[in-house]
Amino acid sequence: MAKALEIKVSGVDEAIKMLERYQKTFQTRVELFMKKLADYGVEKATEEVLVMDAVFTGELVNSIHSTEIESNAERVIFAVEADSEHAIYVEMGTGIIGATTPYPGKLPAIYAQGKTIRKTADGRYGWYYLGGDGKWYFTEGMPSRPFMYHASTQMRHDIERIAREVFG
């Protein structure tokens, strides 16, 4: 997305000063653009969690936020994060049920599958886990509800609109 910079000046010195002023505001605009894009990502990820009915205790939806990773004269980096311990399982899905609704993106190498799956006497496949109440529960997994994947797709779709809002 190229933008022409119109300069109407009476001399070279005035043009140089105008470019220096523009350069000073450019970094601020880049930071604003990245922050707006990250905040938009938080909004979309939160919406996706709600639409996909992935709200159990509210912990996941309340853990979604943006973070400034780096900001200097050369680059500005923001991230959209979900700090909930179970966010990855909601995003990627788990177990037999998760396999029927696969994650649309590429699974990270760290995402292990099937290491604790057992077959029950009645023929179901799944695993047991200890609940917060101290009781053991059986699960066959859960479907992938890729809230971050969908948020990133929406961010890519609307990036030009957000850039136009900031840069004009």
Residues in contact with 110: Cβ distance below 8 Å, sequence separation at least 6, in sequence order: none
Task: Please give the angle made by the CA atoms of 96, 147 and 134, to the nearest 5 degrees.
Answer: 55
Look-up of token digits 């917060």: 132
Tokens representing residue 111 in the block = 């995402």
pLDDT, tens digit (0-9, with 9 covering 90-100), for 131-165: 889 999 999 988 999 999 999 999 999 999 999 99
Count Cβ atoms within 10 A of the Cβ of residue 32 and give its class: 0-12 exposed, 13-18 middle, 19 or more buried.
middle
Kindly report the pTM of this predicted structure.
0.78
The token duo for 145 is 């509800």
pLDDT score of 113 more than 80: no
pLDDT at 68: 93
Give the closest residue to 120 by CA, choosing from 99, 142, 103, 96.
Answer: 96
The token duo for 18 is: 């105008």
